[in-house]
């Protein structure tokens, strides 16, 4: 696999020269300054591509070319937005940037409740606490009908938490769930937005009446519309699985399991319609056997995210070391190295360690933690390559 790294552009505190020094071959990035739904101009794509090439690497993957909400919920503007998406894809194709990651999660992308969960060794990791998330749903959003979706035990634990939680903890929960994890990935809410909860509630309302089947139909519609362009320019589309891979906040999520992925690959059965195999997202769902899924979907995997999770009691999960956990990364490397030697792979997330916490990196995207994980992954890759030679 090709060793890639997610770089957030010229404002990233981690520079391209630093990445070259640690053995990165390809860059994963996006034109983060362009608002969702607008066309990516060819000149800006070329400038980014050339900047990366000047540093001895290549622009391997776009993560992400965001799919606007109206495409997901099937709003009146969807055809105009799809037409813009197609122009961006053509421009990427002209510039030779031909692997494009996106997701189809309504309203909210990845979800954690704690971005600095402390570990015994002094590092910290990302954590999802099911009670705190239910608290956010029931007591902060006060979503109508939400109580019906939780077990009596969960409702009781939320009431317990309500007795002790402080105002500051409530604010931190809002900031973590809908601001800090979303802003830097061109999500719906940015740092500095006033009244994030009100904005969030408006976004949720757009999905009233949209169930799993309808969302699937909207995804099929989108993929069918862009496939001819992908075929013409050789663009590999790869959907990122939903993180975490289960229904949240009454929203349908449709890229959560083996069955879901099989559905989307068949619904638009074209080699350019593929997946981003994110072992981290998939391994946080107890229903997923990641090794089995990698075997089944390797041929339609266009991009790999290596990361691993441990599932804890009560539906909590936490990001594990890249050597441990349900992600079984060594097995995945065996499968993907055999499948395609130049398949782009990035180490996803990393612990916060050795002073990372003082720099203010995007959550999950530390320098030392990711570099450490990359070294672990490189070690596993070296072993697998040696095995394949034997």
CB of 126 to ligand DNO, least distance (A): 9
Beta bridge partners of 124: 118, 352
CA angle 74, 78, 83 (to 5 degrees): 145
Q: Which of residues 112 and 216 has its CB atom nearest to ligand DNO in the complex?
A: 112
Decide if 240 is catalytic.
Answer: yes
Q: Which is nearer to ligand DNO, 109 or 356 (CB)?
A: 109
Start-to-end C-alpha separation, the chain: 18
| Least Å from the CB of residue 263 to ligand DNO | 19
Cα(186)–Cα(34) distance, integer angstroms: 9
Per the annotation, the verdict on 365 as an active-site residue is yes
Minimal CA–CA distance to 134: which of 282, 257, 316? Answer: 316
Q: Which one of 349, 356, 361, 368 is the catalytic residue? A: 349
State which residue, 154 or 177, has the beta carbon closest to ligand DNO.
177
Task: Round to whole Å and give the CA distance between 50 and 186.
Answer: 23
DSSP string of 105-174? -SS--S--SEEEEE-TTS-EEEEE-HHHHHHIIIIII--TTGGGGS-HHHHHHHHHHHHH--HHHHHHHH
In whole angstroms, how close is the CB of 253 to ligand DNO at the nearest point?
12
Catalytic residue among 12, 129, 240, 356: 240
Alpha-carbon distance of 125 to 352, in angstroms, equals: 6
Residues in the chain: 390
CB of 161 vs ligand DNO, minimal distance in Å = 26
Q: Which one, 203 or 384, has the nearer CB to ligand DNO?
A: 203
Q: Give min distance, CB of 168 to ligand DNO, in A.
A: 25
Residues that bind ligand DNO (CB under 6 A): 63-64, 101-103, 109-110, 185, 240, 364
With tokens 């095995």, the residue in question is 387
Residue with Cβ nearer ligand DNO (377 or 384): 377
Catalytic residue IDs: 240, 278, 305, 348-349, 365
């Amino acid at each position: 696999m090709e060793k890639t790294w997610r770089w957030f552009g010229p404002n990233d505190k981690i520079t391209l020269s630093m990445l070259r020094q640690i053995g990165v071959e390809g860059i994963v990035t996006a034109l983060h300054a362009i608002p969702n739904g607008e066309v990516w101009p060819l000149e800006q794509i070329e400038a980014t591509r050339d900047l990366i090439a000047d540093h001895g690497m290549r622009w391997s993957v776009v993560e992400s070319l965001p799919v606007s909400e109206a495409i997901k919920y099937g709003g009146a503007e969807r055809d105009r937005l799809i037409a813009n998406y197609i122009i961006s894809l053509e421009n990427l194709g002209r510039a030779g940037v031909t692997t494009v990651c996106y997701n189809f999660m309504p309203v909210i992308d990845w979800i954690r409740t704690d971005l600095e969960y402390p570990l015994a060794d002094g590092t910290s990791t990302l954590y999802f606490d099911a009670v705190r998330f239910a608290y956010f749903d029931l007591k902060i959003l006060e979503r109508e009908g939400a109580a019906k979706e939780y077990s009596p035990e969960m409702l009781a634990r939320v009431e317990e938490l309500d007795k002790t939680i402080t105002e500051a903890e409530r604010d931190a929960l809002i900031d973590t769930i809908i601001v800090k994890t979303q802003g830097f990935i061109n999500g719906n809410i940015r740092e500095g937005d006033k009244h994030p909860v009100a904005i969030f509630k408006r976004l949720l309302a757009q999905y009233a009446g949209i169930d799993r089947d309808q969302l699937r139909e909207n995804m099929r519609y989108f993929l069918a519309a862009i496939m001819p362009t992908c075929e013409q320019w050789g663009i590999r589309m790869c959907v990122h699985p939903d993180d975490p891979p289960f229904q949240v906040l009454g929203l349908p999520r449709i890229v959560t399991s083996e069955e879901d992925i099989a559905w989307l690959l068949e619904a638009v059965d074209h080699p350019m319609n593929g997946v981003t195999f994110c072992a981290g997202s998939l391994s946080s769902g107890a229903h997923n056997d990641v090794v089995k899924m990698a075997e089944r979907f390797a041929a339609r995997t266009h991009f790999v995210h290596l990361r691993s999770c441990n599932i804890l009691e009560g539906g909590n999960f936490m990001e594990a070391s890249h050597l441990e956990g349900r992600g079984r990364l060594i097995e995945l490397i065996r499968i993907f190295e055999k499948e395609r030697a130049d398949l782009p792979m990035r180490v996803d997330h990393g612990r916060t360690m050795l002073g990372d916490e003082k720099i203010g990196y995007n959550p999950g995207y530390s320098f030392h933690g990711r570099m450490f994980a990359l070294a672990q992954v490189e070690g596993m890759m070296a072993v697998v390559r040696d095995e394949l030679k034997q």
